[in-house]
Structure 1
Amino acid sequence: MTAEAPPVLQYGALVPVSVHFDDLDALGLLHNARYPLMAERAWTAYWQERGLGFDGDWAAAGDACNAVRELRVIYERPVNRTGAYGVHLWLERIGTTGLTYGFRFCSADGSVTYAHGSRVLVRLDPATLRPTPWSEEFRSSGRELSRPEH
């Protein structure tokens, strides 16, 4: 009898994504710009499933009215096939008006990492485009994604 392997994810969420032929570059590898795009698609799907998605109305967007302050991606190994993959998402920290989230572009089961990174967002007031605090609803929804202190 063998012991069961511990779950790959200890925190955050694993969201399925698909790599298509047109995501590959001339060498047949997932284009470097597609990794953060896949993370963005995963976040969009995650928040839409929770009723917190963006429908195109900035005035009504609430927490979805935000801008990227920083993006960092580290590429570990190339993706050279189309098909099913995953994006592991988590929140590193949430401040008054900004947050940092982490992501891993990985195999569909989360066991193999192809790239990882982080992105810093700032919530904006849609009228002034100045930083404004995250809502309590958003903070509450985000707690389930928080990475434990390490």
Structure 2
Amino acid sequence: MIQALLNPDDDPWVWAVGRFIMNMGVVESATRLLIVEITGSDQDAIFSDDLAARIGYLRKRYPRNAAERHAQATKVFAVALKLCGFRNIIAHCPLVLTKREDGTFDIHGIISFTPKDHTKAGEIISLDELTRRIDESAKIAQELLKMQGVFSTT
């Protein structure tokens, strides 16, 4: 019989990872909605490209007719790109575990083996850091969704 790896003490991790990944799923959707607004199709190659490429595509095409709005959008795209790298760490890097005497494990963090601007190789992402990124990712998802209609006016 296979014993479950996670135990009830890990529920905060399960909740935080799930919430963050779901928020990033909204970021994924929002970028695709905006690309369809620009291209008029979901058949252009950029629609199927990775998230970082789609964010760059949108950033380059954001209307520049209102300087303040463009500056705010630039910040949103920069944070979205940072979160994209963080999401990749959360999704693809190993957990740091310790085994208890009873055979269960404790999660101490997620170790970054794919460093980006905001992490170093070997850095351990804590539950506190991940939890802070939940609200940040939700805000960026909302800001991207608010951009609907902006591209079609150019």
Structure number, greater radius of gyration: 2
Shared fold per TM-score greater than 0.5: no
Q: TM-score, normalised by structure 1?
A: 0.26
Higher RCO (Cα < 8 Å, 6 or more apart) = 2
Q: TM-score, normalised by structure 2?
A: 0.26
The structure in which a higher percent of residues are helix is 2
The structure in which a higher percent of residues are strand is 1
